[in-house]
Structure 1
C-alpha cells in the first residue's frame, strides 16, 4: 500500500474491512470498482473492464457505473448471490483538505435489499438467523428490513425448523461460524438451497451478549414485554441477527420497533411436504403463483394486504374464537356488496405504507415517496367513514387502530409540491410560501435572470452590436460574447476572458458582481431546499410507529375484503367451526380446479370423517378419475376454514385440526442419495411419528414405490397402525390402487371403502368424478392408457397379458402364463441345467418310493411334512 496513490491507499484500507463484498467506491458521479471486484462486476453486469495506469505492468483493473442509476446494478449483483458495500463521500469535496473522506454507509445482501423497486410487492424479503441443536431446541429469528417486521420463535424439532424455513423462504440465513453452524448447515442442507448462507462469529450469538444487544437496541431492561424471556435459543438468534443488522446498515433502524414472539402451537402445523403438495403459494410444476391456492384467494389491492394474506395461508389458526372473529367480519362485508366495493376502491389508491415507512425511517425516501405517503393518508377518512357502525368486533377494532394522522398530512401538503422531481438535489421540491428565506432566494434567482436579460439589451444599445449575446458556462460563469469583427471597438470596462475562432468573450465588473449574487442565490436555493426536505422527512419518520400501526390495520382489512369478494363471486359458504373430532363437507369443490377452464363441469363431492365410524376412508378408482383432486380439496377446505375464510361447498362443519399431513406424488432426492421409495417412506415415517387424533392425513398411493407384495404389506400395516393406535387415530383419506386394502373394513370397524364412480361403454370408460360408497373392483389402467394415446397394438397386447395374469401365474405345463399370446407362438420350454447342480432330485426320489394306495391319512400328513422340509 505504501507504493500506491493516496486514493488507492484509501480504497484498499476500506476494502480490507469488507473483503467478502464488492465495494462500490464513490468517485464524483460514479461508483468505481477495482482489482478483483472490477473483474467480477464487469462479468456479472456485462460492463466494460478497463484499468488505471493502462499500459503499465502494474495496471489496476477498473470498471464503474453512474451513481444515479446504481440500483439496477446492485440488484443484479445481489440477485447473483454477491454482497455489495456502498462507500460514499462523507464530506464536501469543495471543503475537503486533501483526499475526500469516504465511508461504507451500508451493505446490501439478498436479505437486506432496501430498494423496493427490485422486490416482489406482495412477498416479504426475510433475513433469518438460526441457532441451536436437538438437545436444547432451535432458535429462529427473522426480519424484513423493508417493513420492520421482526419475529422470533423457539422450536423443539428439526421437522418444525424445516417447516418454518419452507414457510418463510428467507433470502439469506445467518449461522454460527463454528461446529454448531456446521451441524445446522448439514441438517438443513436441502432447506437452505437457493439461500445465501452467512457465518457470524460464535460470540455474536452468545446468550449474555444477545440479551445486551436486544436491550440496547430497544432501550429496554427486560424481555418480558416481548414474551421471549424464557426462550434462550430464540434470544441468541435475535441477538445475532440484530448485531448483523447494526454492522451492515450503519443506521438506527427506527422502523424496527417491536420484537414479536410467536409459537407454532398457536397455528395449524404444515410441514414442507404438505405446503408443496397442496400447492399453497406456488404450483408444483413451475413454481408460479397462478394455479396455487394463493393465486385464487389473492384479490388484495395493496402490497401489504397481499403479504398478510400469504402469511394467513401459511399460518392457519387453531383458536376457534379468532377464526370466528374473521368469519363474522367476512359475513358483514358479504352482506353489503356496495360498501365492500367502496372500501376496496378506497384501499386501491393506497401505496405500500409498510415499505414507505421503512424507507423514510432509513432516510432513503425521496420527495415522491413522502408525497405518496400523504396521498395514501388522505384516503383514510373515507375508510374510517365506511367502517363506521359495521357490526363486527374485528372491523371495529381495525377502525379504531387506523390513525388518520391529520397533522402529518397537513405538514406534508404545506411543505412539498404535488409532483416533485425524483432527484433531491435538483430543487423544485418545496412549495412557495413554506419558508421565507427560500421564497426570497427564489425571487432573487428569478429577478437575477431577468436582470441578465435586461443587461444584454442595454449592452447592445450601448455598443451598437446587435449580435452580442450574454452566455453562461461552468468555467467562466456569465460572459458577453461578441463577434471578432466587433471586438476592437468596445468600452473600456470590457475585460477579455477568451478568444475563439469567430468570437471574443468578455466580462464587465457589473456582470460579475451580479453573477456572484445570482449564482450564490441559486446554489443556496438548492441547498436550502434539501435541508428543508430533510426536516420534513425527519418529522415524518417521528410518526413511524403510528404509520406502521395503520399499515397493519389496512393490511388486515384488505385481506378480509379479498376473501369476502371471492366468497361472493364463487358462492362460498361459512363453515361451522367447533372443537369436535368431526369433519363434514357437503358439495365440496376444489378452490383452484373449479376455476380452471376445463372441458367438463366440476363435480362436487361429500365427505364425512370422524373418530367413531369413519376415521379412515380407503379410496379406490382409476388414475385420472379424481382421487387426488378430491383428497386435496378436503385438505384445502379445512385449511381455508381455519384461516377464517368461507369455503367452496354447500355446507361444511370443521372440527379444528392441529396439523395437515400429505403423502402425495413420487419424487427422488438425488442430493441426499434417496430413491423415490425412500422419500416416500421418510414422509410416511414423519407422519406416523407426529400425527395426533386432531390431525388430518392425506395419503396417496402408500407403498407404490416398491414391489407389489411389499407395497401392499406396508400400506396395510400403515392403515392398521393409524386405526389401532389411539394417540395417532387421525382422520385419514387413503387413496390406493391396491384393491386388497378394501378388505381392511372387514377387520377394522372405523375403516370405510369409497371409490370414484366410472361408467364403461364400448370398452371405454367415462369418469363420473363422484365419490360413492364401496371399493372399486378394477383399476381400468388399460382404458386410461388408451385415453392417454398408447398405440392400439400396445393396448391389445396389454389386455392379453392382463387376462393371463388373472388366470394364474403358471399354466399346467409349468410355463409363465403372462407370456402367452394368440398371435405369437410360445417358445418351447427348455430349461437350462445349472452348471454345478446334481442330476438327482431329492423330492422326486422320495416321491417314487411312495405307494399311494397303501398310505394312510396320518402317513400322508407325515410325508407332506417331510417333503416340505426337503423343499
Structure 2
C-alpha cells in the first residue's frame, strides 16, 4: 500500500470495535494476509518467535505483519487448535483502495466450520470439536446447572441438567467428558470467580453473551428446523422429554444463536438431539486428567508420553476421535466394559484377523463423517465419490476376514460388526453402480476424475478432440529429439502437469543444446532439469488445455446431479463411520496388548458397589517407555470398610477413597 492507503487503513482500523485479547483479527489482502496492532505483537512473539517480522505503517507506526497463504494455515491451526483463540477474517467491500472492512469468516475452538478447508483441506479432523453453553439457577435451595452442547461437525445437540456444588465439581467432570473447547455463558454469571476458575482450569475458551440469548421462547421452532426426523414423521420437538429441562433448553437456545445455525439452510434437518447422562461415566476433573497424563501436553513435543499416545494404534482418523472420547468417558457399566473386553480378547487370541484388519483392511479408509458433510453441503467432487467407492470396494474383504474367524469364536463380532456392516454395504449397492456407470476409471489412473465420454454426445466429441491433440503432442517428442540430437524418453522427456499441461524436459547437463536456439523457449530451470517448449508444442498445448477445460465445463451439470444423488447416502456414511471407528479402536487395544514391553492383562471386573479393588504389580504404562528409568510396581488393595494397602503404607479405605 502507498502512504495514502496506509493512513486510510489506519483510520479504519482504529474505528473497529473493541475485542477480547483472545480474538485475533486477520485482514485478507487477496494474495496475502496482514495482522496489526497488539495482534501483530502477539503473533510475532508467540507464534513466529521473533519481532523481526514486524513492520510499521504510517506516521503513527501501526504494527503490522504480512502473512503468506501457506503460513496463514499454520497460524490458524496454532491459534484455534492449540492456543484456543478466536480468529476473525476481515475483507474489503469495494476493492483494494477502499477501507470498508467487514467480517467475512470467523472461527473459535468450538466452531471450526468456516475454517474447515483452511485447517483440514489436506488432512482429516482427528479431534472432535464442540461448544457448550450453560445457565445456572436455584431450585429448592440447590444450585442447578443447565447445559446445551453442540458439535456442528458431528451434527449433534446434547442437553443436561443437574445439581452441583459451590466448586462446580459435576460441571468440571461434564466438560471433560463432552470434550468441549468453548463455553458460552452469560456476562453476569461469569462474574462468579469459582465458575471462571473451573472453565479456565479445563482449558475452555470463555465466550460471554448477553442475557437475551439465553431465552427459550423460540427454541421449539428452532429445533423443528434443525432436527432430523425419521421417514414419514413430522418432528415436533415440543413433545421431546428434553424440553422439560428448562435451564438446559435456555442454554441450547444460546448455543444455537451463537453458532448462527439458523442462518445456514444446510443445517436444517441434519441435527440430532439427546440427553447427556454423565452418570454412566467415571468422573474426572482437570487435575486428574493432568495427573494421570491422559493426553499430550501442548508444550510437550513427545505425544507418546501419555495414555492417548500409547493407546493410539488406530489406522483411521475416526478411530482416533473415538479413542479420545472413550478416554474422556470411562465406562462404569460392567456389562458394557466386558463387551469391549471380549472383542479385544478375540483379536488378541486371533493373530491373523488382527494383523489383516490393522495392517491391510483399515489402511486407507477415509473419514466418512467429513465426506458426508461435503456431500450434504454439495461441496463434494467426483474424487470424493471415488474415495467412497474405493473404500466400499475394500470393505467386503474386511467383513469376510471377521466372519471367517468370529462365526464360531465370537458372536459379538458378528453382532456388532459383520451383520450391520453387510447391511450397510447392501445400502450402497446403487451408489457403487452409479459410480461405475458414470466415472472414467482409465483417467483415474492419471489422477483425473471425469465423466465417461460415452455418457454424453458433446463429452464424446471433446474426448476425441483431446485424444487427437495428445497424439500430435506426442509426435513432437521424436521431432525435437532429432532436432536437438538427444535421446527421447531418456535425456529428453515429454511431461504433463495440471498447471502447465504438456512440456519438454532435458537434464541440466544437456541444457547446452537449448542455448541460443531461437526455436525453443525455456519455462524454468529446476534441480531435475530444464522445462521448455517450442512453438508447435505451445500451440497444441493451448488447444489441449482449452479442450480439457471445455470437457470439465460440459460435465458440470452431470457431476452436480451425481453429488446430489450421493448426498442421499449421508446417513449410511455416518453409520459406516461409527462402525469403522469402533472396530479400529478395539483392534488398536489388541495390537497394544500384544506389543507392550511388559504384557497388559485383562482385569476381572465386579459390579459397582462390590467394595473390592485388587491391583497386582500396578504401574503407569508411560513408565515402561522411559529409558534408563527403573520403577517398582505396586500391589494395591481396597476393601470397603476396611483398609487400603499399598506396599508398606496403610490408610483407612474411606479416607483414601475420599482423597
TM over 0.5: yes
Aligned to 1:554: 580
In the other structure, the counterpart of 2:205 is 196
Q: Distance in 2 between matches of 1:284 and 1:452?
A: 53
- Corresponding residue for 1:299? 313
Equivalent position to 1:116, from 111, 115, 120: 120
1:393 to 404, 412, 415: 412
User: Residues 145, 375 of structure 1: CA spacing in aligned structure 2 closer, same or farther, 3 A cutoff?
Assistant: farther
Who is 2:534 aligned against?
A: none
Distance across 1 between alignment mates of 2:631 and 2:546:
75
Q: Distance in 1 between matches of 2:293 and 2:330?
A: 15
Pair 1:171 & 2:190 matched: no
**CA pair 206-608 structure 1, distance change in 2 beyond 3 A:** same
Q: Hey, what does 1:433 align to over in structure 2?
A: 453
* Residue of structure 2 in register with 1:463 after alignment: none
Matches within 5 A, 1:304-343: 304-343=318-357
Classify 1:233/1:125 alpha carbon distance in 2 versus 1 (closer, same or farther; 3 Å). Answer: same
C-alpha separation in 2, matches of 1:225 and 1:341: 48
Q: Give the secondary-structure state (helix, strand or coil) at the position aligned to 2:110.
A: helix
Q: Which residue of 1 aligns with 2:77?
A: 75
Which residue in 2 is equivalent to 1:277? 291
Q: Deviations over 1:655-694 (max 9, x none)?
A: xxxxxxxxxxxxxxxxxxxxxxxxxxxxxxxxxxxxxxxx
In 2, distance between residues paired with 1:66 and 1:287? Answer: 25
Residue 66 of structure 1 deviates from its aligned partner by 6.7
CA positional deviation for 1:592: 0.6
Matched, 1:407 2:430: yes
SS in 1 for 2:106: strand
Distance in structure 2 (CA, Å) of the matches to 1:154 and 1:164: 11
The TM-score normalised by the length of structure 1 is 0.53
Instruction: Report 1:782-821 matches (<5 A).
Output: none
Secondary structure, aligned partner of 1:429? coil
Q: What SS does the corresponding residue of 1:208 show, helix, strand or coil?
A: coil
Task: Point out the structure with the larger helix share.
Answer: 2
Give 3-state SS (helix, strand or coil) of 2:183's partner: strand
CA offset digits 1:798-840 (Å, max 9, x no partner): xxxxxxxxxxxxxxxxxxxxxxxxxxxxxxxxxxxxxxxxxxx
- CA offset digits 1:252-305 (Å, max 9, x no partner): 236953223221112222233333322233479959642333333332222211
598 and 87 in structure 1: CA distance in 2 versus 1, 3 angstrom threshold: closer
Q: Is the 8 A contact 2:332 2:608 kept in 1?
A: no
Q: Secondary structure at the match of 1:576?
A: coil
Match of 1:616 in 2: 643
Using the alignment, how far apart are the partners of 1:65 and 1:417 within structure 2? 40
Deviation at residue 249 of structure 1 after TM alignment: 7.8
- Structure 2 CA distance, aligned partners of 1:377 and 1:599? 47
Cα distance in 1 for residues equivalent to 2:18 and 2:567:
30
Give me the whole-angstrom Cα distance separating, in 2, the residues matched to 1:65 and 1:594. Answer: 42
1:576 and 2:622 are equivalent in the alignment = no
Q: Cα 1:48–1:251, aligned 2, differ >3 Å: closer, same or farther?
A: farther
- Cα-Cα RMSD: 5.1
Instruction: Tell whether the 8 Å contact from 1:162 to 1:188 is kept in structure 2 after alignment.
Output: no
Match of 2:625 in 1: 596
Q: Tell me, what secondary structure is at the counterpart of 1:112?
A: coil
* Match in the other structure for 2:146: 139
- Residues 284/35 of structure 1: CA separation in 2 closer, same or farther (3 Å cut): closer
Counterpart check, 1:213 vs 2:222: yes
Name the count of aligned residue pairs. Answer: 551
SS at match of 1:83: strand
- 1:355–1:47 Cα change, 3 Å: farther
Separation (CA, whole Å) in 2 of partners of 1:420 and 1:200: 52
Which residue of structure 1 lines up, in the alignment, with residue 536 of structure 2? none
Distance 2:53 2:375 in 1: 32
Q: In 2, distance between residues paired with 1:340 and 1:25?
A: 49
Shift of 1:431: 3.9
Task: Label 1:122 to 1:444 Cα distance change in 2 as closer, same or farther (>3 A).
Answer: closer
2:371 alignment partner, one of 332, 336, 356: 356
Relative to 1, partners in 2 of residues 1:38 and 1:525: Cα closer, same or farther, differing over 3 Å? farther
- CA distance in 2 between partners of 1:733 and 1:208 (Å): 43
Structure 2 unaligned residues grouped into runs of 5+: 229-233, 476-538
Normalised by the length of structure 2, the TM-score is 0.67
- Which position in structure 1 is the counterpart of 2:516? none
CA separation of 1:35 and 1:395: change in aligned 2, threshold 3 A: same
Asked if structure 2 preserves the Cα contact closer than 8 Å seen for 1:18 and 1:85, the reply is no
Q: Report the CA distance shift for 1:102/1:418 in structure 2 as closer, same or farther (over 3 A).
A: farther
Q: 1:237-248 counterparts in 2 under 5 A?
A: 237-246=251-260
Partner of 2:530: none
1:183-236 CA deviation, whole Å, 9 max, x = no partner?
3x7523353255432223322221223333222211664448865232222222
Q: Is the CA contact (8 Å cut-off) linking 2:375 and 2:566 kept in structure 1? A: yes
Deviations 1:470-507 (A, max 9, x none): xxxxxxxxxxxxxxxxxxxxxxxxxxxxxxxxxxxxxx
Larger Rg: 1
Partner of 2:248: 234
Q: Give, in whole Å, the separation in 2 of the partners of 1:58 and 1:295.
A: 49
Classify 1:733/1:112 alpha carbon distance in 2 versus 1 (closer, same or farther; 3 Å). Answer: closer
Q: Deviations over 1:611-636 (max 9, x none)?
A: 25xx2226575xxxxx7xxx9xxxxx
Change in Cα spacing, 1:379 to 1:35, as seen in structure 2 (3 Å) is same
Q: Do 1:153 and 1:263's aligned partners in 2 also have CA atoms closer than 8 Å?
A: yes
Alpha-carbon separation, structure 2, partners of 1:733 and 1:60: 56
Residues 610, 285 of structure 1: alpha-carbon distance in 2 compared, 3 angstrom cutoff: farther
Contact 2:637 / 2:646 at 8 angstroms: preserved in 1? no
Aligned CA distance change for structure 1 residues 523 and 324 (closer, same or farther; 3 Å): closer
8 Å Cα contact 1:175-1:199 kept in structure 2:
yes
Q: How far has the Cα of 1:552 moved from its partner?
A: 0.7
CA distance in 2, matches of 1:216, 1:167: 28
| Inter-partner Cα distance in structure 2 for 1:420 and 1:543 | 25
Q: In the alignment, which residue of structure 1 is the partner of 2:491?
A: none
* Pairing of 1:152-163 with structure 2 (within 5 A): 152-157=159-164, 158-163=168-173
Within 5 A, what are the aligned runs for 1:297-696? 297-344=311-358, 345-365=360-380, 368-388=383-403, 389=407, 391-393=410-412, 395-402=414-421, 403-404=424-425, 405-412=428-435, 414-415=437-438, 428-433=448-453, 435-436=455-456, 437-444=458-465, 523-569=549-595, 570-579=599-608, 581-585=610-614, 587-592=616-621, 595-596=624-625, 606-611=635-640, 615-617=642-644, 619=646
Determine the C-alpha separation between the residues in 2 that align with 1:528 and 1:417.
15
